[in-house]
Amino acid sequence: MSSPTRSGDTGAAASGLERKIGPLQATAINMTQMCGIGPFVTIPAMVATMGGPQAMFGWIIGAIIALADGLIWAELGAAMPGAGGTYLYLREAFQYRTGRLMPFLFAWSAVLFIPLIMSTGIIGLVQYLGYLVPGLAENGQTTGLGKAVGIGVILLIVLALFRKIGEITKLTTVLFTIMLFATLAVIVAAFSNFNATQAFAFTPGAFAGGGAFWTGLGAGLIIAIYDYLGYNTSAYLGAEVKEPGKTLPKSIILSILGIMSLYFLLQVGVLGSIPLEELKTASSVASTVMENAWGSGVSKVITVGIVIAAVGSVFAGLLGGSRVPYEAARDKVFLPVFAKLHPKLKLPTLGVITMGLITAIGSLFTLTDVINAALAVLVIIQSVAQVAAIIVLRRRQPNLKRPYRQFLYPVPTIIALAGWVYIYYSATTLSIWLSVGWIALGIVAFLGYAATEKVWPFGPKEIREAFVTTENEGAAA
């Protein structure tokens, strides 16, 4: 193994990106990405999967896993605030044993699972548009016309991303405000027509051993975690965040707590305002709640807000995700064309376009299939790998400056690991095999790359502790 070498800041100054995102904008980006269309299309599936109103506790367990994982992101993001998030963390942690393999696999996988998750937002968006424009969705499924409209929306989102990051943060704040208003409006409407007996009529024996709650928990957590995803978006934009050591932990933790509160209130409110059997098959829950409470006119107005919230979620997701292949290309671990920034707008042009294209392809499939496939890949190559990364980095780079250290470490890390393993185990068999197959293909691709570049395992490892500060070099050597 070669001796360690160190470079300076790999954040904004080295990348060419600009630090324009403050604490409010970072939290807004996370929450906009998290909420979007998710809970508005998955609440019926959550209730059906967990067998009744006990589904509300699925959101709480999902939030605990998300918060535990968020504390991993908070420490790693604050210590290594560069573009690409997980890509950087895996590069720094695994370089000692497997060279560039893990960051390569993450970039290889992120180009797939990030836009796939965004495509679910488009699928849900079209379902709600179907409430306003008949013919776009039937029986909860998108029609051919609806799919065409969805692709048109993706094109508009990609075009909207072609602007400077300062302008993007302003637009994201507006989208966040609309999302928050629409969500709160649905919650208020639900509780204005609320039946507590109906909301808390748990299925008899649901919590006993082998009851409906336990048998449906695994599949329910897949839905819950899907709806919480996005609390890490600001970390992907680490090179564009002001005072990242403070901003990133705050934005991650506040966004999880805020969305958890909204989701729980939304779930309870919906359970108390729509009969259970009707809820299990509803395709546009929020619109139904609004119509029952305040009539079709108000319902249509709020539905427009929900559609805009879905647009905001996809917008924020593609914004953060496009930085992953960009950072990997700058490291010469991905195709070099991805390393090019737009000369005026300072954005990774090809990353935005590529992820937009894969989002369009994913939007042609069904919601459940896409959720399972995307999460299965994400759990292996991001979530579980980051659990290992935080442990390895604490041992390998003790002098790494950590503006935030995980509270009660390693308890949250253990909780996150247990949660992610259980969620992966609960995914469909097809999704698990697809995720294994995709990673196997990635390993083959990496071996081809490594042979060409003469790096491990066909050459020496390059150890580059990029975030160890100059002041600590003597101690770390």
Domain assignment of residue 5, yes or no: no
Structural domain includes residue 29 = yes
How far is CA 177 from each of CA 96, 127, 208, 278, 309, rounded to the nearest angstrom? 44, 22, 42, 30, 9
DSSP assigned state of 137: E
In a domain, 372, yes or no: yes
**Longest Cα separation, the chain:** 70
Which pLDDT score is estimated for 66?
97
Q: What is the pLDDT of residues 184-243, one digit of tens each?
A: 999 999 999 899 999 999 999 999 988 999 999 999 999 999 999 999 999 999 999 999
Question: Does the residue 447 lie in any domain?
Answer: no
Q: Is residue 78 part of a domain?
A: yes
Q: How many domains does the chain have?
A: 1
As a whole number of angstroms, the distance between CA 238 and CA 85 comes to 7
Residue 343: how many CB atoms within 10 A of its CB? Answer: 7
What's the CA gap between 345 and 324, in Å, rounded?
18
CATH of the domain at 147: 1.20.1740.10
pLDDT tens across 245-283, in order? Answer: 999 999 999 999 999 999 999 999 999 999 988 888 877
Res 59 pLDDT > 50: yes
The boundaries of the domain holding residue 164 are 15-439
The contacts of residue 430 (CB under 8 Å, 6+ apart) are 372
In a domain, 475, yes or no: no
Residue 472 has pLDDT above 60, yes or no: no
Residue 92 maps to a domain: yes
* Residue 111 to residue 297: CA distance in whole angstroms: 41
SS3 164: coil
Give per-residue pLDDT as tens, 396-405: 999 999 999 9
Residue 458 lies in a domain: no
The whole-number pLDDT of residue 7 equals 37
Long-range contacts, stretch 296-303, CB < 8 angstroms, 24+ apart: 299/131, 300/131, 300/132, 302/182, 302/185, 302/186, 302/189, 303/128, 303/131, 303/132
